[in-house]
Amino acid sequence: MDVRAQMSMVFHLDKCIGCHTCSIACKNIWTDRKGTDYMWWNNVETKPGTGYPTAWEDQDKYRGGWECEDGELRLRSTSKTKTVFNIFHHPHQPSMDDYYEPWTYDYQHLFNAPEGPDQPTAVPISMVTGDLIQIKAGPNWDDDMGGSPVYAENDPNLAQLNPDQRAQMFAVERLMFFYLPRICNHCLNPACVAACPSGALHKRGEDGIVLVDQNRCRGWRACIPACPYKKMYYNWNTGKSEKCILCYPRLETGQAPACFHSCVGRIRYLGVVLYDADRIREVAGLPQDELIEAQRSLILDPRDPAVAAAARRNGVHDSVVDSACNSPTYRFVKEWKIALPLHAEHRTLPMLFYVPPMAPVMAQKTGTTVENISEDLFHDIDEARAPIEYMAAMFGAGNSGKVRYALRKQKAVRWYRRALTVGDVDMATADRMLREADCSAAEAEAIYKLTSLCTFEERFVIPPMHREEAIEMLADPMSHKQGVGFGFIEGPRRGL
């Protein structure tokens, strides 16, 4: 057992209001530089929809992630041999057109325009070339376009549905959408790292954050097609790849990442989990319908003395193990099993989990009243506006049972709380629902608390990073004593 620690996240989609505050927080801190202008390390997309970059889930086009044939795990986009031939031109690399061309407006014209009969306007100009542009797409261009034939109907996840289901989904009475906030998943088996020819991409041993060593990145671009989530970005100005760094400078000082910190809907949870690194290869190569359960089994119980001892032997600090005991991620993913990885079928073992959203209920009109009552207390899960298969394409690796379980438990918790506080549901029904949803009253109470009443400290359980001690192992802290006290760090200047 090779126990390692991993910063791991949960996004509770039922709480996401699609305000994009997370995206803006990230943008203002990390990607407001030239060359990163088109990047959104954190973005929020509307589902069903094509997302950002356009149709990123279409792996026939982008070839992201791993595929497993006869137990052999291979990257879809590259290999050692293919790297030699693809290094001059990567056949599956998205171009700026797949994202959008960033633009600003010619505000100066408002001041400098010569006097004339009309009000001057600020025309859009490209942030790449400075030329006038016709804006064809932009960030969140498909925001809220739930039933759009341009965006929603081209959602790659719809391929999982049969034509009837698809037609029903786009019937006007059934139109629905929800938001999917996305950051780097900081995977346990990252495809970007495995594809990087330079060895610049790496996973930090201490906390599992996946980073690009900017000094070693040579712009070979293999990471961009390799990531099935398209969370690797190419900085066209510096000629280097960049990605979400999970705000590690904030984490190291005990602060939540900017997107977590600013989340208005409080949908985000962050905590450390312990996992068994020895089993990564085995789990990543399992048949698709076993992936979700197997990935869950990789996560270890930090309260188990054997796990804690193995962690200690591996150099995981006791304070990190303690932090793992309070990790909200552990509770959502492992204890309650209501948070699921996004597109686990790409076998990267993503460490960002989503609580699937409760879709609006289908109602029936009887006479003058609208009813949605059925003998089956969970009828609305299978009769939701979005077919469960659609949700399963995203969160269940095609296995709708996992999604159904998560939704049923969420519904049972709601009805249980409703019986307690509103009283229009009798307790017997609520108890029956809890039982059928594999949930105890205590668990329901805990889910309710962490979902609805969670404080900042409960949502973000950040372990001490011990970076001061770590750095002492590598560099003598006294080495600059009596020196000038100034170091020189090279700026990220574009090469000749």
Partner 1 sequence: MNNTYFNALFFIGLPYVSVFTFFLMTIVRYRTHGFTYSSLSSQFLENRQHFWALMPFHYGILTVLGMHILAFLVPRQVAWWSSVPLRLWIMEIGMLAAGLLTLVGLVAAMVRRRANHKIAVVTTASDWVILALLLIQVLTGLGVAMMHPWGSSWFALAVTPYLYSVATLNPNLAVVSVMPWMVKWHVINAFLVIGFFPFTRLVHILVAPNPYLWRRPQVVRWYRRPAAAGR
**Residues forming the site for partner 1 (CB under 8 A):** 80, 83-84, 87-91, 93-97, 128-129, 131, 189-190, 193-194, 196-199, 201-206, 214-215, 217-221, 224, 234, 236-240, 315, 467, 469-471, 473-474, 490, 492-496
Alpha helix segments (H runs only) across 18-101: 21-30, 59-62, 80-86
Residue (35 or 356) nearer to partner 1, CB: 35
**Residue 91, CA distances (Å) to 82, 116, 232 in order:** 11, 51, 16
Q: How far is the CB of 294 from partner 1 (least distance, A)?
A: 18
Task: Find the shortest distance in angstroms from Cβ 56 to partner 1.
Answer: 15
CB closer to partner 1 out of 53 and 156: 53
By beta-carbon proximity to partner 1, the closer residue of 232 and 247 is 232
Q: How far is the CB of 31 from partner 1 (least distance, A)?
A: 15
| Least distance from partner 1 to the Cβ atom of residue 237, Å | 7
Q: Give the nearer residue to partner 1 in terms of CB position, either 89 or 365.
A: 89
How far is it, in rounded angstroms, from Cα 17 to Cα 29?
Answer: 22
| Residue in 57, 29, 36, 37 with CA at minimum distance from that of residue 45 | 57
Query: Cβ of residue 77: shortest distance to partner 1, in angstroms?
Result: 13
Query: Is the separation of the CB atoms in 276 and 349 below 8 Å?
Result: no
Element (DSSP H or E) covering residue 276: strand 268-276
Burial class (CB in 10 A: 0-12, 13-18, 19+), 52: buried
Q: How many residues are recorded in the chain?
A: 496
Is beta strand 364-366 parallel, antiparallel or unpaired with respect to 268-276? unpaired
d(CA 83, CA 105): 40
Least spacing, CB of residue 292 vs partner 1, in Å? 21
Minimal distance, residue 89 CB to partner 1, in Å: 5
234 vs 390, beta carbon nearer partner 1 = 234
* Residue whose CB is less far from partner 1, 234 or 336: 234
Q: In terms of CB distance, is 11 or 234 closer to partner 1?
A: 234
Nearer to partner 1, 478 or 496 (CB): 496
Strand ranges, E, within 282-434: 299-300, 340-341, 352-355, 364-366, 369-371
Angle, alpha carbons 31-35-40 (nearest 5°):
35
- Of 195 and 444, CB closest to partner 1: 195
Give min distance, CB of 181 to partner 1, in A. Answer: 24
Residue bearing tokens 């030329």: 131
Report, in Å, the least distance between residue 259 CB and partner 1.
24
Q: Are 295 and 185 in contact (CB under 8 A)?
A: no
∠ CA(158), CA(161), CA(165), 5° rounding?
Answer: 105
Nearer to partner 1, 442 or 474 (CB): 474
Least CB distance to partner 1 at residue 480 (A): 19
Question: How far is residue 475's CA from residue 15's CA, in Å, rounded to a whole number?
Answer: 45
Q: Where are the beta strands (DSSP E) in 26-118?
A: 43-47, 66-69, 72-75, 103-105
Partners of residue 232 on adjacent β-strands? 243
